[in-house]
């Protein structure tokens, strides 16, 4: 199992939202680069980063903070939020970002997503953020009629690296992973690594999700759940 510590950026600071609401932001660190260094020092093998302002604006807003993070650590980084065209994808790949997450574009422009997935194999992740079981886009402000599995099936032969699932209804609440929804995605079997963004109140949800989703993203949990930093949870496979 791989755990990706998460840095969500709002106005240049590390924050956590509740259910994706910008007005429910809690600031955890005003220095994103320092937070990234802390995660790297704790033994994690990847970093998950989201430009929250960018997700709403449809373009990268926290570029300065993202570049500072990239310069501060050697860990591979996957980045999402406001990346909607090829120029945006290539800008961040050229800047040293390892994988780019495409969420809104996956719903609104699947042809583009397939094109960049084939052009950059293993470096494009499809974001499937769900509210009440349906995919939400535009910073989670708009809800579609598609389920995450239906969205994922659009890209089953496109060479995407992963499907990243977020349960918006539980996002940031520290109530645990949506095991049923994550397992359903994994059993669909269209992609090698269905991944789940989760908030962990205790160890038991990890033992459940282990079989269904690797890797997994967690942000708010880490400062409150020090057992996450044990080497067994920070490993890069297994």
Catalytic residues: 8, 129
Distance CA 154, CA 41 (A): 38
The DSSP annotation for 65-132 comes to: HHHHHHHH--S-EEEESS--SHHHHHHHHHTT-SEEEESHHHHH-HHHHHHHHHHSTT-EEEEEEEET
Q: Which two tokens stand for residue 25?
A: 């932001």
What span, in angstroms and rounded, lies between the C-alpha atoms of 238 and 234?
11
Report d(CA 94, CA 84) in Å as an integer: 16
């Amino acid at each position: 199992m791989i755990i990706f510590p998460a840095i969500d950026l709002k106005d240049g600071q590390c924050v956590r939202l509740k259910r994706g609401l910008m007005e429910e932001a809690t600031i955890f660190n005003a220095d994103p680069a320092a937070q990234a260094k802390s995660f790297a020092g704790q033994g994690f093998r990847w970093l998950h980063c989201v430009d929250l302002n960018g997700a709403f604006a449809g373009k990268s807003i926290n570029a300065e903070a993202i570049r500072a993070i990239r310069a501060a650590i050697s860990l591979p980084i996957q980045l999402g939020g406001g990346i909607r065209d090829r120029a945006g994808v290539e800008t961040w790949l050229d800047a040293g970002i390892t994988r780019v997450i495409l969420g809104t574009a996956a719903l609104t422009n699947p042809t583009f997503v397939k094109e960049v997935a084939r052009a950059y194999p293993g470096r494009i992740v499809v974001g499937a953020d769900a509210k009440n079981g349906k995919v939400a886009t535009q910073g989670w402000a708009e809800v579609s009629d598609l389920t995450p599995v239906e969205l994922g099936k659009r890209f089953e032969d496109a060479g995407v690296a992963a499907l990243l699932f977020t349960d918006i209804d539980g996002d940031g609440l520290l109530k645990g992973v949506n095991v049923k929804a994550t397992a359903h995605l994994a059993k669909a079997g269209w992609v090698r690594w269905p991944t789940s963004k989760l908030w962990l109140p205790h160890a038991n949800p990890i033992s459940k999700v282990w079989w269904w989703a690797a890797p997994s993203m967690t942000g708010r949990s880490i400062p409150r759940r020090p057992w996450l930093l044990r080497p067994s949870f920070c490993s890069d496979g297994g």
